[in-house]
Amino acid sequence: MGDQIQAQPPGGASFEAVWAALQKTDRIIEKNAKEAKRRLEETDRIIEKNAKEAKRRLEETDRIITKNAERAEKMDRRLDKMMDRTDKQIGALGNRFGELAEHLVTPNIAEKFRALGYAFTRAGPNVEFFDAQGKALAEVDVWLENGEFAMAVEVKSYLCVEDVKEHLKRMDVLRRYADARQDRRKLLGAAAGAIMRKNVRAYAEKNGLYVIEQSGDTVTINIPEGFQPRIW
């Protein structure tokens, strides 16, 4: 606590006593002013220090953000390159799938079906079917036909059960398409794949589809015992 001003005794005070009291009051005021100034300067130093620290942290944050942005940009460039390579690989893979489809429509496949009693006289890849209004109804990877039979072949690199189900639906569409045009030919279906699991092969055969598999540079048509092709 600072110095306290003494109360004056009753009955008044002399000039000397009043002067002494005033001087003491001045000293107290001066002391308190110095203390207030010291505290203010200390506060200013703390504020300045905190401001510098905040500025340093902000600058450090900016550096981190900039560094992370540069890393993200580099990562984006790497991802772009990886996607480009992936797109090229997918494109190349798609070309190989297309080559498989083309291979299936060569005379070799017609000869294999001829050995099964189907003398197809026409074979073509990517045959599309439209209604009278030009609406696309179905697209067949490989279409084989003659005057008595027509066959729609679905070609996949990796044939799965869902592909077989979709092809069975496609066969129904093709049957309705043919009926609407008085085409009474017997419609057959086949599923071809470079890779397929045994359960997929069994599912396709169970539903009356011929199963065509790639074997080296050629293809084979599996005919299990008791197999009966479905005629749409």
In a domain, 25, yes or no: yes
Answer yes or no: do 209 and 122 share one domain: yes
Q: Average pLDDT, stretch 119-143? A: 91
- Is residue 5 included in any domain, yes or no? no
- 87 and 117 co-located in one domain: no
- Quick: pLDDT tens for 91-127: 455 555 556 655 655 667 888 898 899 999 988 888 9
Q: Does residue 183 sit in helix, strand or coil? A: coil
Per-residue pLDDT for 37 more than 60?
yes
Task: Give percent above pLDDT 90 in the chain.
Answer: 37
- Interval 38-69: pLDDT, tens: 888 888 888 888 888 888 888 888 888 888 88
Same domain? 77 vs 111 = no
Nearest residue to 161 (alpha-carbon basis) of 194, 200, 192: 200
Tally of structural domains, the chain: 2
Q: pLDDT grade, residue 166 (50/70/90)?
A: very high
The DSSP call for residue 14 is -
Domain span at residue 184 reads 105-222
